Amino acid sequence: MAANYLYRPLYSPEVYDTLLELMRGHPRILLDAGCGTGKITLCLINHIDRADAVDPSDAMLQVARNQPHADSAKIRWIHGAIEDAPLDPPYGLIVAASSIHWMDLDRTLPRFAGALADGAMLAVLDGDAPLDAPWEREETAFMIDFLEARGERRRGWWKTMRERLAAPVLTHPRFTSQGHRITAPFSFSQSIEDYLRCQHSRSTWSEDHLGEKASAEFDASMTAILNRYVRDGMLTFNVQTRIEWGRAIAY
């Protein structure tokens, strides 16, 4: 699953420009909370002084450490849960991307509040999946039916990427939103094989969760859907990201 993270779409340059804007006037020190394979840290490291990149998964960090520039002396890769990992504040920005919903926020948000420099922000992100792809309706119908056939009820609360972009990433009494930005559409292309590996990077579709037989069934059905949309061997779609920033509150 960790290796499959490398097949997720890139964030657009606008994401990184926004994060750097949020650091302006603060220490150029990043805490990447739930860094995964290090996508954010590695794209920002040449523009900042240092980064602490924390993740509870040793497999994720192994993938991260094998990426170009991951051996930079400015990066401290930390294996541990963000709730109690060793930190080195103050930070000019804390970023939590898809990781935020896996955290114990009652413990983590007060910790973030204490680790941020005066006036510095917590930024949370959502959006590294196809937006309004031509195959979205067929794909969604198949995915819901596939899960419900396995006894997992999803129909009532399934959200498209468009619906996710319209909703706050983080709602919690210890987080006060100060603003948000939805990036402009960013075009991304990949083969069906890579698209499926990306899907298997998500917890619902991970091969460990589905098992070998169901994973093969998933891939075969998805390939039949996606084959109708391939052009010159590639699927092309837009990605947009919601970036939300605000204050973490200690008490």
pLDDT digits (tens, 9 = 90+) for 97-127: 988 988 999 999 999 999 999 999 999 999 9
Helix, strand and coil in the chain, % to nearest 5: 40, 25, 35
CB contact at 8 A, 54 and 85: yes
Which of the two residues, 203 and 189, has the higher pLDDT score? 189
pLDDT at res. 131: 96
Residue with the two structure tokens 């959200």: 159
pLDDT at res. 218: 97
Beta strand extents in 104-182 (DSSP E only): 116-126, 175-182
Could you count the other beta carbons within 10 Å of the beta carbon of residue 169?
24
Reported as a pLDDT band with limits 50, 70 and 90, residue 190 is: very high
DSSP letter assigned to residue 231:
B
pLDDT at res. 152: 78
Mean pLDDT of the chain: 95
CB contact at 8 A, 2 and 55: no
Helix, strand or coil, per DSSP, at residue 76: strand
Dist. CA 33–CA 11, nearest whole Å: 17
CA angle 144, 148, 150 (to 5 degrees): 125
For residues 55-59, give the mean pLDDT: 96
Cβ density class 203-242: b for 16+ within 10 Å, e for less: eebebeebeeeebeebbeebeeebeebeeeeebebbbbbb
Tell me the pairing of strands 242-248 and 235-239.
unpaired
pLDDT at res. 1: 87
pLDDT at res. 155: 60
* DSSP bridge partners of 231: 234
> From residue 83, how far is each of 47, 50, 78, 228, 246 by CA, in Å?
27, 21, 12, 45, 19
pTM for the full predicted model: 0.94
Closest CA to 198 of 208, 188, 206, 209: 206
pLDDT at res. 206: 93
All domains of the chain, ordered by start, with CATH? 3-248 (3.40.50.150)
CB contact at 8 A, 4 and 59: no
Kindly report, residue by residue over 30-56, the tens digit of the pLDDT.
999 999 999 999 999 999 999 999 999
Kindly report, residue by residue over 128-153, the tens digit of the pLDDT.
999 999 999 999 999 999 998 988 77
pLDDT at res. 154: 66
CB contact at 8 A, 13 and 40: no
CA angle 194, 198, 203 (to 5 degrees): 155
Q: Which two tokens stand for residue 164?
A: 């996710």
Report helix angle 136-149 to 212-226, nearest 10.
Answer: 160
